[in-house]
Amino acid sequence: MDDPRLLEFEDLIRVFMESIAHLAIPDIFPWIMYILPGALTGLIFHLDLQKKNIYKFLNYFNKEIEEHRATLDRDCPRDLIDGYLMMMEEKAEDPDNTFSEKDLAILILDLFLAGSESSTITLTWMFYYLATYPEVQQKMQAEIDEVLPKGTLATLEDKLRMPYTEAVIHEILRKSSLAATGVQHVATRDTQLGGYFIPKGTIVMGAQETVHHDPRYWDRPDEFLPERWLDQQGKFTAKKEGFLPFGVGKRSCLGEALARMELFIFSTTVFQSLIFSQPPGKKIDLPYDPKVVFTHNPKIQDVLITIRPGF
Ligand code: HEM
């Protein structure tokens, strides 16, 4: 936790996430960049700051890549960076080669921003929600105790035997609606949708949060109710319509399977031995942090963590 490289990375992520809020307007209305003078857009949207932050990230990853290169064991690649470096060498003479160190650094940045922050924030939401709803936490812990003997870690096979835990994870994904408006897409042809004409080239964004709280799909949508995901026999039912935390279609989340696995393994491991609760005299504030624009983050706040009796 005190590793200076990790702390540096956490700081880079935090500053980056806060600074991209300035890009919300040109991201949604890109034409604004063409009608305002360049110097003005730079000033309003803090473009220099964005560039500086990206370079800081790329420098950070370049150091990591160099360290990997210096210690690379071709018989025993450790991770994606090692694998990529080996492919880079293999393709060095290929005229169609697209592998490069810059591409690798950007790939790592993409994976960290899309892959690491998203799961971390969703888990943070889970800690805050379950601290606020102790009865839900206790039910989930009772299921964990029943399925996983003390000290045993869950495997994906246990998922089927843990419908309540699955229900909690799905309800967290719905309530948090991490990517509230999804990622911008462009209509590739003229389209008619729900009575609206969408000309080719239009930027289209989802309305994930709105759909996740639409009473046409959800009974008592504002309430945190994991039970809505269970049928009368207590079996988990993966409701599909009105639920799109990972987007839909060809460009839906590439890491969905990994994210689902992470959420299941992390949450069962953590709640098996720990209790999350509101600190004495304090209430956890569940609305989204308004300072973060592109994702729905919780406000960072204190939570009391105690060890479960017997652990
Ligand atoms: C709880 C965790 C996560 C949530 C809620 C989430 C959500 C999303 C959403 C809403 C999109 C946009 C989909 C669209 O455009 O319609 C997306 C895209 C993406 N996600 Fe995730 N994600 C999560 C975890 C991950 C992980 C773990 C990875 C990879 C390690 C990942 C990699 C990506 C990538 C690469 C894209 C872009 C896909 C494309 O444009 O083709 N995500 N994610």
SS3 content of the chain, % helix, strand, coil (to 5): 55, 5, 40
At which of 99, 126, 144 does a domain end?
A: 99
Among 122, 211, 253, the mutation site with the greatest number of ligand 1 atoms within 8 A of its Cβ is 253
Q: What's the length of the chain? A: 311
For residue 285, give the CATH number of its domain. Answer: 1.10.630.10
Cα–Cα distance measured from residue 254 to residue 148, given in angstroms and rounded to the nearest whole number: 30
- Asked, for residue 112, whether it belongs to a domain, the answer is no
- Residue-level pLDDT at 1: 67
Counted domains in the chain: 2
CA of 303 to the centre of ligand 1 (A): 28
- Asked, for residue 133, whether it belongs to a domain, the answer is yes
- Residue-level pLDDT at 206: 86
CA of 184 to the centre of ligand 1 (A): 13
261 and 151 within one domain: yes
230: nearest Cα among 163, 169, 176? 163
Q: Give residue ranges with CB within 6 A of ligand 1.
A: 111, 114-115, 118-119, 122, 178-179, 182-183, 245-247, 251-255, 258-259
Q: What is the mean pLDDT of each run of 10 residues along the chain (311 residues)?
A: 84 80 78 83 83 88 94 95 95 92 91 86 97 98 95 91 97 94 89 94 89 95 96 89 91 93 96 97 89 83 95 88
